[in-house]
Structure 1
Amino acid sequence: MKVRLWPALLILIVVVVTVRLGFWQRDRAHQKEALEAHITQFESAPAQSIGSAPIALNDIEFHRVRAVGEFVPDKVVYLDNRPYNDQAGFYVVMPFKLASGGYVLVNRGWLPRNVNERTLIEPYATPSGQIEIEGIARADATRAFELGEGGSAAHQSIRQNLDVAAYATETGLPLQPFVIQQTSDDGDKLVRDWPAPNTDVDRNYGYMFQWWGMAVAAVGFGLYAARRAAKKEHAQGA
C-alpha cells in the first residue's frame, strides 16, 4: 500500500498540534488546581498588615490582609452592573488612606440600585476617622463586560470597571497595586457576601478532552482514508 506524503503529513501535523494543545490545557488545569489549594491555605492564614511599602500583586493576591487608616469618600467609585440575588446594584470602591502612609483601594461591598433613578445612589454609612479593616487582596474589584469607556454622563463616579494603575494616575494617589475586598463589618450596612474565586478548572479539562478527541478523530480518519485507498488500488490492480 502506497502512503501519500501530503495527506499523511497533514494528518500528522493535526495530531501533533491537537495533542500539544490538550497537554497545554491539562497544564493550565493543574496550575489552577494549585491556585485553589493556595487560596484554601490563605483563608486560614493570619492576616497580613498593609503599610506604606509597596507590595507586588503576585505576593499578596488572595491573602487575608489588615489595614489601619481612614476612608476617602470624596473619591468613591461605584461599579455598575453588579447584581446580587438577581437585584441590580453597585460595588462601592473607595480609597483608604493608610495610617503608615500611602493608599489602597477597598471594595467595601454591594449597594442596591435605586429602582426609580439609575444614577441615584442609595444612602449608606462611611466611618469617619481612623479604623481597622480586614479583607482579601484581589487584583481588581471584579470586571464586567464593557462597551466604550463605560461610566455615566450624569454621574461620573459610576463606572463599569476600575483599573488600579489608571485610577492612581487619574487621582495622583500612591495606591497599592491591588484592591482589598473588605470582609470586616464597620456598620455601613453594605452587603459583603462575596462569591468564591472561580478558577473554572472543569473548562480546561473539557478543552483537553476535546483536543485529544480531535487527535483521535484525525488518526481514525487517516486510517479510514488509507484503507479506502488500498481497496481502490487493489480493485484497479485485479
Structure 2
Amino acid sequence: MKFRLVPVLLILLVVAVTVRLGFWQRSRALQKEALEAQITQFEHGPAQTVGAVPVPLKQIEFHRVKARGSFVADKVVYLDNRPYNDQPGFYVVMPFKLASGGYVLVNRGWLPRNMNNRETIAPYTTPQGEIEIEGIARADASRAFELGNGGSAAHQPIRQNLDTAAYAAETGLPLQPFVIQQLSDDGDKLVRDWPAPTNGVERNYGYMLQWWGMALAALGFGLYAARRAAKKQHAPGV
C-alpha cells in the first residue's frame, strides 16, 4: 500500500501539535493545582501583622494577616454589582488607619442593595476607636466587568471597581499595595461568606481533553483515508 507523502506529513503534524497542546494544558492545570494548595496553606497559616512598612503584594497575597487600628468611615467606597445568593448588593471597602502608621484598604463584607433605590445604602455599623481585624491579603477588593470607567470614576462613593494605587493617589493616603479581605466579625451586620478563589483548573483539563480528542480524530481520519486509498488501488480495473 502506497502513501502520499504530503497528506501523511500533514496528518502527523496535526497529531503532533494537538498532542503537544494537550500536554501543555495538563502542565498548566498541574501548576494551578500546586498554587491552589499553596494558597490553602497560606490562608490557614499564622496571621502576619500588617504595619507601617509597605509589604510587596507578591510576598503577602493570600496570606492570613491581622492589623490594629481604626476605620476611616468618611472615605468608604461601595463596590456595585456584587451579588450574594442571587441577591444584588455591594462590597463595603474602607481605609483602615494602622496604629503603627500608614493605611490599608479593607473589604469589610457584603451589603444588600435597596431594591427601591439602588443608591440607598442599607444600614450597617462601623466600630469606633481602635480595634484589631483579621483577614486574607488580596490583590484587590474583587474585580467586576466594566466598560470604560464603568462607574469607577474618582470621588464617587458607589463604584464598579477600585484600584488601590489610584485610590491612594486620589485620597493621599499612604496605602499598603494590597487589600485585606476581612474575616473577623465585629458585629457590623455585613456578610463575609467570601467566594473561594478560582483558578480555572477544570477549564485547562477540558482543553487538554479537547486537544487530545482532536489528535485522535486526525489520526483516525488519516487511517480511514489510507484504507480508502488502498481499496481503490486494489479495485478491479484500477
Q: For 1:124-144, what per-residue CA distance to the aligned partner results, in whole angstroms no more than 9, with x for missing partners?
A: 211222221100111221222
For the 8 Å contact 1:8–1:222, the answer to whether it is kept is yes
Q: Which runs of 5+ in 1 are unaligned?
A: none
Displacement of 1:200 in angstroms is 3.3
**Distance in structure 1 (CA, Å) of the matches to 2:37 and 2:28:** 14
**Distance in structure 2 (CA, Å) of the matches to 1:234 and 1:165:** 74
Displacement of 1:15 in angstroms is 1.8
The number of aligned residues is 237
Alignment-derived partner of residue 111 in structure 1: 111
- Residue identity in the other structure for 1:36: E
**Distance in structure 1 (CA, Å) of the matches to 2:5 and 2:104:** 62
Residue identity over aligned pairs, in percent, reads 80
Q: Which runs of 5+ in 2 are unaligned?
A: none
Alignment-derived partner of residue 121 in structure 1: 121
4+ aligned runs moved over 6 Å, structure 1: none
For the 8 Å contact 2:63–2:137, the answer to whether it is kept is yes
TM-score w.r.t. length of structure 1: 0.90
Say if 2:99 is the partner of 1:99. yes
- Residue identity in the other structure for 1:109: G
TM-score w.r.t. length of structure 2: 0.90
Displacement of 1:96 in angstroms is 1.3
Alignment-derived partner of residue 20 in structure 1: 20
**Distance in structure 1 (CA, Å) of the matches to 2:46 and 2:143:** 28
**Distance in structure 2 (CA, Å) of the matches to 1:71 and 1:9:** 67
- Residue identity in the other structure for 1:62: F
Alpha carbons of structure 1 residues 213 and 51: separation in structure 2 relative to 1, 3 Å: same
For the 8 Å contact 1:79–1:92, the answer to whether it is kept is yes
Alignment-derived partner of residue 178 in structure 1: 178
Alignment-derived partner of residue 8 in structure 2: 8
Say if 2:234 is the partner of 1:220. no
Aligned pairs for 1:1-238 (under 5 A) are 1-151=1-151, 156-235=156-235, 238=238
**Distance in structure 1 (CA, Å) of the matches to 2:47 and 2:56:** 16
Displacement of 1:171 in angstroms is 2.7
SS of alignment partner, residue 235 of structure 2? helix
**Distance in structure 1 (CA, Å) of the matches to 2:98 and 2:230:** 78
Alpha carbons of structure 1 residues 20 and 152: separation in structure 2 relative to 1, 3 Å: closer
For the 8 Å contact 1:82–1:91, the answer to whether it is kept is yes
For the 8 Å contact 1:92–1:110, the answer to whether it is kept is yes
Displacement of 1:36 in angstroms is 2.2
- Residue identity in the other structure for 1:31: Q
**Distance in structure 1 (CA, Å) of the matches to 2:237 and 2:51:** 85
For the 8 Å contact 1:151–1:157, the answer to whether it is kept is no
Q: For 1:52-111, what per-residue CA distance to the aligned partner results, in whole angstroms no more than 9, with x for missing partners?
A: 222222221211100112212222111111111221110001111222222211100001
For the 8 Å contact 2:95–2:106, the answer to whether it is kept is yes
* Cα-Cα RMSD: 2.1
- Residue identity in the other structure for 1:227: R
For the 8 Å contact 1:76–1:93, the answer to whether it is kept is yes
For the 8 Å contact 1:151–1:160, the answer to whether it is kept is yes
Displacement of 1:173 in angstroms is 2.5
